[in-house]
Structure 1
């Protein structure tokens, strides 16, 4: 370990002295992550190669040192990376960070998770652990890691004060005396060999990770956001039944252009993010900044944020921790008042620009024929114009014999049946979706919905089977993976 970061409770002095010391979190470097990214860089990964960021020198230095050794292991790695390069180059770094976070470290780099717990984006990298182990030994990465220690210390020092203050502030606001939940871990890794200005978050069962690379200014707010997920995600699961009273309000987010479809399709994901954004607004300084953050979140489609922010203002005036107050926070939201507020909202066309931007995706080609009908159907469904959407999905079935488009049409019809409270029809249509040739995204969502329908019918074994099937699919969206993991842990729709 390079340096531990104690996550403690910041509150009034008398209260602080009465609280036990919480378990430590970590702000650290990772030799495993360093090794995997050194291998990626040595094999030609050139994201932001001409960067003038603070880590540009060490990235070039490590790449040059390894290149000068003419290693056989690098040739094998190049072949592997070429064969496993995702269509979206932006996903390349992401999948190898996921891979590094599931390894147990040098010298053998075995996977530390059970086969059924391997993340979908890591499953397709079978065999890479052995190549990384060979590279580690042949390149002498252990020695290079020691040589990079000073640079790691400097990056950690840049984050230490700000992160400590941010996490203390979060713990103090939530009145969290134990820094989270027993048996769970929050880990921050600083990384020198990845492209600059990156922040990646992962949650694997009870382990939450934040990986940050070098940047002109430490990305403290993004780290705190990940920490709030660590603290608040379990509460959303525990009080799912209470949260469900807000489902009708959440559906009003459907027309928001800037809101990712993952939030529109997963109520729990949306509700949790709204709580976090509300907390972030209350942690801001000054009434004007607090309101600006609420307005921004609402405009982007996080429609429950204003109600939660108002509720948190009341929470601040009482003495319970948010773990205990959470049911009141949800239960005291005035549905009629929020419905009136949301009736007046004008959604933003795009999310607010963040400091760190990814390369934009190329424009989509013009659609025609069945593709155009399907796009129209999805647009109607997003607006919850269900009958026009249903008619368009049926037209897709008539307009083409393409089984993948048929799968998407049946999937759309199944979702409509779900919204219309016809579970038997929905189940048949989701099964029909799987009988076609669905893409991996559609296939994973279909399995997830079948799992939830089985849970609703009290068929727990069948539900578990479908959740595992969803997790086994490569390129399943993060929202599907998260929801399937939660479904495996606990029947859908049931609080703890």
Structure 2
């Protein structure tokens, strides 16, 4: 194997990031759509009792007139081959995903011969393939594939940018680049006609690729990961964040698998010891693969994912600490902030250990070892590919057998913390947030009560009194977006009831100023506030005859989306009026 480029080169953060340079692409696959549509026609429902997704509902509508006999035969097959409990809908669908990737392209959808090396689960449902071919011929799906692929393309476009960020961050953490080519040494026939004892070899290069495949009919929330030869497929349900741990682990496996193969001789020197560790843990009831190299690969991926997440959490905790220290007013406050930051570091370390322990029990029995090694490499900034051989040489399988007992206390603390804190991921990086948020909730509750009282004043047109109340509250809640919006609303309503043109314009301009302040003060998460303020500004500006400015505000509101249907529809209507001939 050889890397595609000097592996020590770290991607520049500001450079254009081309996924294809790293063997990664977003790929649509008609076979997957066809098989999953057939599975749906057979009665498979990943969310029984719930409303189907819009795309699944569309497919079901399109297949309403499917041949009843075919539907019944498919349904019978799926029910007969259903996995026993406690298998999930995602487990059930995974076998059919594997089936999709062994079929030939449409329209033939050729079925492969039975073989033990078919992707996981495909052999179990291979007899569904003839039904899929019949479904393709009779359902009319071939005529709808173009529109289906367009919907998948839209989801693929959504995935591309966050996927690029995930790839960039993982490679930056490992200080490496994935190997996108593998070299295979193959035996060839001698060109001489006479028999010769000379053995001739040739080399062949294979591309290694990581495909991100959107699947609008997948079981929600679960990424389906498949490795077929040198191709890695992450089949992603609608709405999944590509930075999720499942996706990241899939990509980590793509990056790290070649290292395990490249240094197989170094790993083989510890084969007997690792096997002994595997046997010991298996006898204790853990599920561990007997394959030494697979165990090494799983352990390395688990360790890299845990350390990556730990690094991100520590960075977030440090950033929070830095911001709070800048706002601290005295030494006592700074001391309290430092104490919280230390508590966060301890909690994050415990959570990392707990994750490693969880993966250890799932077969990654060397993950603690690799996690220790990765910490040292991370500090050095060197490429993991250059040091993997040295890492393996330091392996002590006897030590790894004691890991769970060594970390029992840390793991217990993490498990207890998970139960104690509903917003655990937030608590990890900001332990004092819960107390502060609790106090803030009481403060916000008081504010909302006051705003409700002011709303009553507006209803009876006591604008002057309402404005005075809002200004007083603004001194208590400086920069509060809801108060600024309410001031804009008050000025706007007051202007509506004003007969003096100059005074009306003055109040409308005051409303605009407060709406703009509300937009600036609104948190990035408060899309409703920003939408309502932009729409309100659009109406005021349109009334004042400042149509170009009004159009920009309506478009800004529309761009946020229908998070508040009334305001959104008003913005759409406002834009229509301004743009109609």
TM-score (norm. length: structure 1): 0.58
Contact 1:299 1:345 (C-alpha < 8 Å) held by counterparts: no
* Residues 372-411 of structure 1: pairs in structure 2 closer than 5 A: none
* Residues 83-482 of structure 1: pairs in structure 2 closer than 5 A: 83-88=80-85, 90=88, 91-111=91-111, 115=115, 117-119=117-119, 121-182=121-182, 183=206, 184-215=208-239, 217-218=241-242, 220-243=244-267, 245=270, 247=274, 253=281, 259=286, 261-263=287-289, 265-284=290-309, 285-287=312-314, 288=345, 289=348, 292-298=351-357, 300-301=359-360, 302-318=364-380, 320-333=382-395, 343-346=405-408
Contact 2:27 2:213 (C-alpha < 8 Å) held by counterparts: yes
Answer 1 or 2: which has greater helix percent: 2
Higher Rg: 2
Show the counterpart of 1:63. Answer: 60
- The offset of 1:93, in angstroms, is 1.5
Q: Give me the CA root mean square deviation.
A: 3.8
**CA distance in structure 1 between the partners assigned to 2:14 and 2:141 by the alignment:** 47
Higher relative contact order (CA 8 A, sep 6+): 1
The farther-off stretch of 272-281 and 111-120 is 111-120
Contact 1:102 1:113 (C-alpha < 8 Å) held by counterparts: no
Contact 1:9 1:168 (C-alpha < 8 Å) held by counterparts: no
**CA distance in structure 2 between the partners assigned to 1:71 and 1:340 by the alignment:** 59
**Number of positions where the alignment pairs a residue of Structure 1 with one of Structure 2:** 339
Task: List gaps (5 residues or longer) in structure 1.
Answer: 1-7, 354-496
1:102-123 deviation per Cα after TM superposition (whole angstroms, max 9, x unaligned) = 1222111114688463346323
Change (3 A) 1:204 1:234: same
**CA distance in structure 1 between the partners assigned to 2:70 and 2:403 by the alignment:** 60
Change (3 A) 1:266 1:76: same
Change (3 A) 1:14 1:343: closer
1:22-72 deviation per Cα after TM superposition (whole angstroms, max 9, x unaligned) = 3642223321111101111111112213445xx612112211220234455
Where 2:210 maps in the other structure, the secondary structure is strand
**CA distance in structure 2 between the partners assigned to 1:159 and 1:221 by the alignment:** 15
Where 1:107 maps in the other structure, the secondary structure is coil
**CA distance in structure 2 between the partners assigned to 1:308 and 1:73 by the alignment:** 52
**CA distance in structure 1 between the partners assigned to 2:34 and 2:151 by the alignment:** 15
Contact 2:215 2:235 (C-alpha < 8 Å) held by counterparts: yes
**CA distance in structure 2 between the partners assigned to 1:221 and 1:31 by the alignment:** 27
Show the counterpart of 1:31. Answer: 30
Where 1:173 maps in the other structure, the secondary structure is helix
Contact 2:282 2:288 (C-alpha < 8 Å) held by counterparts: no
- The offset of 1:337, in angstroms, is 6.8
Where 2:234 maps in the other structure, the secondary structure is strand
Where 1:48 maps in the other structure, the secondary structure is coil
1:224-250 deviation per Cα after TM superposition (whole angstroms, max 9, x unaligned) = 101111221232233344335362666
TM-score (norm. length: structure 2): 0.50
Show the counterpart of 1:362. Answer: none
Contact 1:103 1:111 (C-alpha < 8 Å) held by counterparts: yes
Where 1:189 maps in the other structure, the secondary structure is strand
**CA distance in structure 2 between the partners assigned to 1:117 and 1:286 by the alignment:** 40
**CA distance in structure 2 between the partners assigned to 1:9 and 1:104 by the alignment:** 39
1:202-255 deviation per Cα after TM superposition (whole angstroms, max 9, x unaligned) = 122222211121246556321110111122123223334433536266667558
1:396-422 deviation per Cα after TM superposition (whole angstroms, max 9, x unaligned) = xxxxxxxxxxxxxxxxxxxxxxxxxxx
Change (3 A) 1:241 1:69: closer
**CA distance in structure 1 between the partners assigned to 2:111 and 2:293 by the alignment:** 30
1:264-322 deviation per Cα after TM superposition (whole angstroms, max 9, x unaligned) = x4443333222112212332314434663234213553453333222223223556532
- The offset of 1:142, in angstroms, is 2.6
Contact 1:30 1:191 (C-alpha < 8 Å) held by counterparts: no
